[in-house]
Structure 1
């Protein structure tokens, strides 16, 4: 073994390096022990000082919420008391509750600064939420501690919000948590708004919300065959207007409406019109993968009491196996939710599809879920004239020009007229002229030619594949 003794620079007695290293390691471990104990005791002493008793002897009460509810949770907590001592838990993302802070085995948790993040409360508004808040407050003459954190929920990588209330008076703790929960449910940020539920990444069960301005569409802008818009409006909006009388008569309010027809015929525009007329009604929009969030949407709608839930392109979840949950497709989940709503829930489900044949079997197996099915077909020549008039009302197109455009656009959808007018305006700008009939007719001819070429190319590809 090598000699680990060395003479010191000052010529004093030799030093045993191994012994020194062991003593130094013992010193570091001792200091770490005392630092850990100090940090652990600091959090516990803070809570003990406020509660007037050992916090380890008190069991907190707990409630969990979806991440998108952060704004209303934060508002509910702020309203508990005017005078609150708000502290930050650092780091917040690892702790699952007060017990973790008190145990603090590895001294990872400390009291520090508040972390705030912006969460939407409307199309153009946000609330800066305290996402790691430990609140020390008084309710009446009794000290209370409230913790609100965002934590991961197991392997699904779903983030949830945990709210815990701690008080020596356990009944007061339960009442306080119940009050928080009531405030969250009755002051939902989506109440009266138009929102989309957006799915989480990589198959996560989590989702977020996106706010949209409420559309402003007039009835004359929706061009459907005679009587169909009125029938849809009577089911979606008329029942809400008679809600009190229907409840008094013991009649259910929830209903399902199916709009079906080729793409571009006005299904989405019809929905936008309904949302513009239901100004105080919450609207939840689900599309694509977000259709799997139907139960979350229904739960949020029930809490609010009055809502329209829109499920666009419902045929996709009927035929796409990627949306299947075991043996049950999302479509059957949707139909189950329609059937499971309480009789007094003023909730309308509006489904759209380009392929009603895909939905027919499922709907036939669950009769009574759809109260009204309305076809939104390709427009007739008369309706195409109305469409060109609606989209071209700001320009100097003549009635004769519109009639010629409508006739030339045989077999096209309502969205064709909108695009033709846009193309006519572009042609006029290029020619440095005001839009007129010649531009409109040229645009129609170009769009129909492009559509024909596309159909021929697709047919050719199919024959090649065969």
Structure 2
């Protein structure tokens, strides 16, 4: 059964008639996290918890569907005191950190359906492993990739600590068949502990709005493809410049 509204803790005590919440067997949905087996995620559930063995608390998980795709709501009920507030903050931080770890060093995408533009569940992709020896580019172009991607990543945290921007973006441009997608695979495969967000088939103005880190375009009339690469669950753009794969390499700041 598809739910279009989230279930709340108050529904357990205030609902009447046909809207009364009823007990039912646990239902799970397999979520693709890029492993051999999908993660068996519970659709709706409530956990009764004792904080420090004596203070009651409750956690409710509810999945529901919106026009923008499936959503998840987590509601925490606790007594109005410091111990209860601390538990709620710690619980939310824990599940946020755990969620990030599921997609670390993986490639994911968010796709829209043709009907109404609603988004599907995030999909995990397996990108090919591409080594440096598999990339045929000039030494000057490879040096640009090293400087503006790999060397930048090594200094990224120090730059942020000094108040500098931790974001950069690289634009790969050239004629079809010059290896733009292959270079993207090489970069993605050699940035461990980074999340890759693939963007495919979107109009250029939409790509620009999403601030892509790596964008590949054959010509101005083609639809864009790209990939965001970041060190968190929500990818941050990495690098800013231009690398021409069809002629003399150029870099624009």
User: Normalising TM by the smaller chain, what interval?
Assistant: 0.7 to 0.9
Q: Contact 1:260–1:356 at 8 Å: present in 2 too? A: no
Which position in structure 2 is the counterpart of 1:330?
A: 206
Which position in structure 2 is the counterpart of 1:106?
A: 17
Aligned-partner Cα distance in 2 for 1:286–1:275: 13
Question: Relative contact order, CA 8 A, sep 6+: which one is greater?
Answer: 2
Which position in structure 1 is the counterpart of 2:128?
A: 215
* Structure 1 residues 247-271: Cα deviation after superposition (integer angstroms, max 9, x where no partner): 3544322101000111121001001
**Unpaired stretches in structure 1, ≥5 consecutive residues:** 1-89, 290-316, 319-328, 339-348, 360-368, 380-466
Aligned-partner Cα distance in 2 for 1:176–1:206: 33
Q: Which has the higher strand share?
A: 2
**Unpaired stretches in structure 2, ≥5 consecutive residues:** 224-237, 249-253
SS state of the match for residue 243, structure 2?
strand
The 3 A distance-change label for structure 1 pair 233 and 198 is farther
Which position in structure 2 is the counterpart of 1:11?
A: none
Q: Contact 1:123–1:211 at 8 Å: present in 2 too? A: no
Structure 2 residue aligned with 1:162, among 73, 96, 105?
A: 73
Aligned-partner Cα distance in 1 for 2:139–2:38: 43
Which position in structure 1 is the counterpart of 2:178?
A: 265
Q: CA deviation at 1:186?
A: 1.9
Which position in structure 1 is the counterpart of 2:244?
A: 375
Q: Does 1:184 align with 2:95?
A: yes
Structure exhibiting the larger radius of gyration computed from Cα positions: 1
Which position in structure 2 is the counterpart of 1:26?
A: none
The 3 A distance-change label for structure 1 pair 91 and 173 is farther
Aligned-partner Cα distance in 2 for 1:202–1:196: 18
The 3 A distance-change label for structure 1 pair 102 and 201 is farther
Aligned-partner Cα distance in 2 for 1:95–1:281: 32
Aligned-partner Cα distance in 1 for 2:48–2:2: 18
Aligned-partner Cα distance in 2 for 1:132–1:194: 28
Q: CA deviation at 1:184?
A: 2.9
* Structure 1 residues 10-54: Cα deviation after superposition (integer angstroms, max 9, x where no partner): xxxxxxxxxxxxxxxxxxxxxxxxxxxxxxxxxxxxxxxxxxxxx
| Structure-to-structure mapping, 1:308-387, within 5 angstroms | 317-318=203-204, 329-334=205-210, 337=211, 349-356=213-220, 371-377=240-246
Which position in structure 1 is the counterpart of 2:48?
A: 136
Aligned-partner Cα distance in 1 for 2:133–2:72: 45
Q: State how many pairs are aligned.
A: 230
Q: CA deviation at 1:179?
A: 2.1
Q: Which has the higher helix share?
A: 1
* Structure 1 residues 41-75: Cα deviation after superposition (integer angstroms, max 9, x where no partner): xxxxxxxxxxxxxxxxxxxxxxxxxxxxxxxxxxx
Aligned-partner Cα distance in 2 for 1:208–1:272: 23
| Structure-to-structure mapping, 1:42-121, within 5 angstroms | 96-107=7-18, 108-121=20-33
Q: CA deviation at 1:240?
A: 0.7
Aligned-partner Cα distance in 2 for 1:247–1:370: 14
Which position in structure 1 is the counterpart of 2:150?
A: 237
TM-score by length of 2: 0.78
Q: CA deviation at 1:370?
A: 7.7
Aligned-partner Cα distance in 2 for 1:105–1:211: 41
| Structure-to-structure mapping, 1:283-322, within 5 angstroms | 283-289=196-202, 317-318=203-204
SS state of the match for residue 208, structure 1?
coil
Aligned-partner Cα distance in 1 for 2:193–2:141: 24
TM-score by length of 1: 0.44
Aligned-partner Cα distance in 2 for 1:134–1:178: 18
Q: Contact 1:255–1:371 at 8 Å: present in 2 too? A: yes
Which position in structure 1 is the counterpart of 2:137?
A: 224
Q: Contact 1:165–1:176 at 8 Å: present in 2 too? A: no
